[in-house]
Structure 1
Amino acid sequence: MTQLSLCAIARNEENALPRCLASVKDVVDEMIVLDTGSTDRTVAVAEEWGAKVYHMKWCDDFAVARNEALKYVQGEWVLVLDADETLVPEIVPQLKQLMADPKNLVINLMRQEIGASQSPYSLVSRLFRRHNLIKFTRPYHALIDDSVIEILKQESHWNIVTLNPVAILHYGYQAEAINSLDKYTKARLMMEKFVEVHPYDPYVCSKLGALYIQIGQIKQGIKFLKQGLKSNQAEAPVLYELYYSLGNAYLKQGNFAKAQEQYQKAISQNILPKLKIGGYINLAGLLQNLGKLTTAKQLYEAVLKLDPNLAIAYYNLGMTLKGLKQYPEAIKAYQKAIELEPNNADAYQNLGVVYYQAGYLKESLETFEKAINLHQTKNPNAATKLRQGLKGIGINL
């Protein structure tokens, strides 16, 4: 009997797909890959890894493609991954235990967004029992949640459970994986088409509003985010996204009071604390810039309790401690940021400043030299600017 099936859609993913399939090959009983028009070796790669490959012409709708892929699944349970995602092996025993419970219908999984420093975690409904009424909706950021809600109205015996440890690693936010503005244009057009028919859908409004803010169209982004809030139908996770993105929009407009209000509304939502990290970091950064360093410090420390390996939180904490003139603590924070991101030139530069202010001249010179060398490879202008600044205080490097 086929217990667990991988279900994936892919197009031109010959480079990413092997890592994805390798992560599940010994976990699932079958691998289903729906190719939506690849012109590279995606199909051959999938077959080499033992996947069953099916084909469909791309129709600008992720939900349609995911539902087409579901037709070929034979497993009792379905694990949905994209080509740029991998399953964390340590989580498998917990997954199997939850799948063994006959009352469980959906297992929500924690996904870590590799390279997305400010919102490094998301919760996704990607592991579910095969049920003839489960289907994906929404053309972009497709999800099964709508159909699951309808099922529960008729079949209330099912459980929806959430697994807190990270289960999926998503590499789509790494710099080399982010495509040109064309990617955002396609996403925008798909979501706008959906919103024309469902103007107050809070989920799509949250995604579309965030996308507009990301590409610099702030007013348009705010319009869609407020539109999503008007529905009064958004559950806590979507409310968090709406308020968080509104905070980002007002911050970019320089409206700090409104930004702070939205961030506070976001982090007040009843969702898993790890999912609020972006809100905590952005609120702390805002307060830091307003000179409220003690409160910012407390927020960064709260973030590091949630994720002790988040480099940006150590870096920002170092900035805050430097402002408070707590130099020994600032040094430790910057050192930890560098340990996690060894090529972070800014962290070395700021650590050099703290060493200098604390009277550690030798360490300061060594650290500034490291910062200059790192800047030189990525941003020569920053290296030149740092040299000039140091020359102003009598340091020639």
Structure 2
Amino acid sequence: MSLSLCMIVKNEAATLPKCLNSVRKVVDEMVVLDTGSIDRTPNIAQQLGAKVHHFKWSNDFSAARNAALKYVTGDWVLVLDADETLTPGIVPQLREAIARDEYLLINLVRQEVGAEQSPYSLVSRLFRNHPDIRFDRPYHALVDDSVSAIVNKEPHWQIGYLPGVALVHTGYQKSAIAQNNKYAKAATAMEGFLATHPDDPYVCSKLGALYVETGKITEGMELLRHGISVAEENYDILYELHYHLGIAYSRLQKSPQAISHYKAAIKLPIYPMLKLGAYNNLGNLLKAAGDFNGAKTAYATTLKIDPNFVFGHYNLAMTFKALGLFTDAIVYYQHAITLNPNYAEAYQNLGVVLLKVGNHQESLTAFRKAIALHERYNPEEAKRLRQGLQEMGLM
């Protein structure tokens, strides 16, 4: 089975090379639709072997993605954005999946680098080059509705997913959001869609979450509650709706309601890796309420799902520290540091517990590493920590 990469781009010269290099030895062709770049994006795409086409931007992501699909010739289509890369380890599974006869669409797990809330998401980015598959919605464009319509008419098709992280996405980092004015663009596009599709649970989830993120909490919660009332058994969207209501109630400092929504999200029958955010946030609320055993269970569950979940190791260490179990805390701080060598807070708290168990030399080493990292990312905290250690006579 031949595989085509299909992309829409605009002014992506900084990120496009890494994206294309992650897939160019995996796919049989790379189709890039430029929507009005004024930088070197089209030239970079051509130099890396892509077929470049052009499209006048109309403030509608679906229109652009559907225009790009017209140029694809492969049996299967892989859709990426320029701020995404394909993970090398997923390639054997991907090849095996598209060789099977029963799949129409295969969902992919995407790691959200820098996202403050959801570390993973499930995206419908790998599908057959079927004439009736098309994107819908002007923002957060999806093929899901057209795929569902095909499956209803042609029930022999199946929808699957690849276990493990397939895509790495850097677009949710704060710098990227601010640079590209993503929030404002997203809100404008989704508000227009909502006006004509008020009972669409997906846009209720995405726009409601965006409102909560940008401080319009009341409006966001209204949309999220409405989404729950119309989502029926769409479990992936129900998870997101409950999850973001948990965040909203947390911001209003209404912990019992937040805990209730996180627990409702966790109970839903969806891919376990997608639940990491809910388990982690639930643990944070339980720890803040003094329920350290409940928090420990929640954090431990995140590590059963994903042993490489850095925040799970760190938060479990913080819980052990609060319980006075310093030896266990040290182990999990060290795990977090192994997974993220630039984790200043982990070094800092490791220094604290090492000091408590009397290991002054290693404690000082950990504190010095924390200060060095804070000086790069948070100079005020570096200054505060150094002063505190000097007052204690440790420096």
Question: The TM-score by the shorter chain falls in which range?
Answer: over 0.9
200-209 or 162-171, which deviates more: 162-171
Mean Cα deviation higher: 64-73 or 339-348: 339-348
* In structure 1, C-alpha distance between the alignment counterparts of 2:304 and 2:221, rounded to whole Å: 32
Q: 2:382 and 2:49 mapped to 1: Cα distance? A: 50
The Cα shift of 1:388 comes to 3.8
Aligned to 2:76: 77
Counterpart residue identity of residue 132, structure 1 = P
Residue of structure 2 in register with 1:279 after alignment? 278
2:282 & 2:263 partners in 1: Cα distance? 8
CA contact (8 A) 1:200 1:230 kept: no
For the 8 Å contact 1:78–1:127, the answer to whether it is kept is: yes
111-120 or 355-364, which deviates more: 111-120
Maintained 8 Å contact 1:118/1:281 = no
Instruction: Write the mapping of 1:205-284 to structure 2, written as runs, cut at 5 A.
Output: 205-233=204-232, 235-284=234-283
Q: Does the aligned pair in 2 maintain the 1:172–1:178 contact within 8 Å?
A: yes
Counterpart of 1:334 in structure 2 is 333
Equivalent residue runs for 1:309-320 within 5 Å: 309-320=308-319
Indicate yes or no: 2:301 matched with 1:302: yes
Shift of 1:221: 1.3
What do residues 201-221 of structure 1 show as CA deviations (whole Å, max 9, x unaligned)?
Answer: 110110111111111221121
Q: Distance in 1 between matches of 2:85 and 2:386?
A: 43
Output the amino acid matched with 2:379. P
Give the aligned partner of residue 16 of structure 2. 17
Give the distance between the partners of 1:44 and 1:202, measured in 2 at CA. 40
TM normalised by structure 2 equals 0.96
Q: CA deviation at 1:82?
A: 0.8
Residue correspondences, number: 395
Distance across 2 between alignment mates of 1:387 and 1:223: 46
Alignment correspondent of 1:166: 165
Are positions 1:107 and 2:106 aligned together?
yes
Alignment of 1:5 onto 2:4: yes
Cα displacement (A) at 1:384: 2.7
Q: Is the 8 A contact 1:199 1:227 kept in 2?
A: no
Alpha-carbon separation, structure 2, partners of 1:68 and 1:382: 50
* Preserved CA contact (<8 Å) 2:231 2:237: no
Separation in structure 2 between the aligned mates of residue 369 and residue 91 of structure 1, nearest angstrom: 38
What's 2:377 paired with?
A: 378
1:361 Cα offset (Å) = 2.1
Structure 1 residues 143, 294: CA separation in 2 closer, same or farther (over 3 Å shift)? same
Deviations 1:363-394 (A, max 9, x none): 222222222232233322212322343355x3
Seen in structure 2, the aligned counterparts of structure 1 residues 234 and 141 have a Cα distance that, compared at 3 Å, is farther
Report the Cα offset of residue 109 of structure 1: 1.3
- Residue 188 (structure 1) aligns with: 187
C-alpha displacement at 1:232, in angstroms? 3.8
State the shift of 1:129 in Å: 0.8
Structure-2 separation of matches of 1:214 and 1:251 = 12
In the alignment, structure 2 segments of 5+ residues that lack a partner are none
RMSD of aligned Cα (Å): 1.6
CA shift, 1:122, in A, is 1.2
Query: Contact 1:117/1:310 (CA < 8 Å) preserved in 2?
Result: no
Deviations 1:136-193 (CA, angstroms, capped at 9, x unpaired): 1111111111011111111111111111122212122345433248320110010001
The C-alpha deviation readout for 1:261-308, integer Å capped at 9, x for no partner, is 000011111001000000000000000100110111111111112111
Contact 1:11 1:36 in 2 (8 A): yes
> CA separation in 1, counterparts of 2:139 and 2:233?
18
**Residues 39-85 of structure 1 deviation map (CA, whole Å, 9 limit, x = unaligned):** 00011011111111111111111111111111111111111111111
Report the secondary structure of 2:106's partner residue.
strand
Q: Following the alignment from structure 1 to structure 2, what is the Cα–Cα distance between the partners of residues 231 and 332?
A: 45
The letter of the residue matching 2:69 is: L
Quick check: 1:61 aligned with 2:79?
A: no
SS of corresponding position for 1:381:
helix
Give the Å deviation of 1:250: 0.2
Q: Unpaired runs of 5+ in structure 1?
A: none
- Name the counterpart of 2:393: 395
Distance in 1, Cα, partners of 2:393 & 2:370: 14
Structure-2 change in CA distance of 1:207 and 1:388 (3 Å):
same
**CA distance, structure 2, for counterparts of residue 73 and residue 376 of structure 1:** 48
* CA distance in 2: counterparts of 1:244 and 1:189, whole angstroms: 23
Query: Structure 1 residues 20-29 or 170-179, which shifts more?
Result: 170-179
Q: Distance in 2 between matches of 1:345 and 1:382?
A: 10
Q: Does structure 1 conserve the Cα–Cα contact (< 8 Å) formed by 2:36 and 2:57?
A: yes
Distance 1:376 1:162 in 2: 42
Q: What whole-Å deviation, never above 9, does each CA across 1:305-326 have from its counterpart, x for those lacking one?
A: 2111222111111110000100
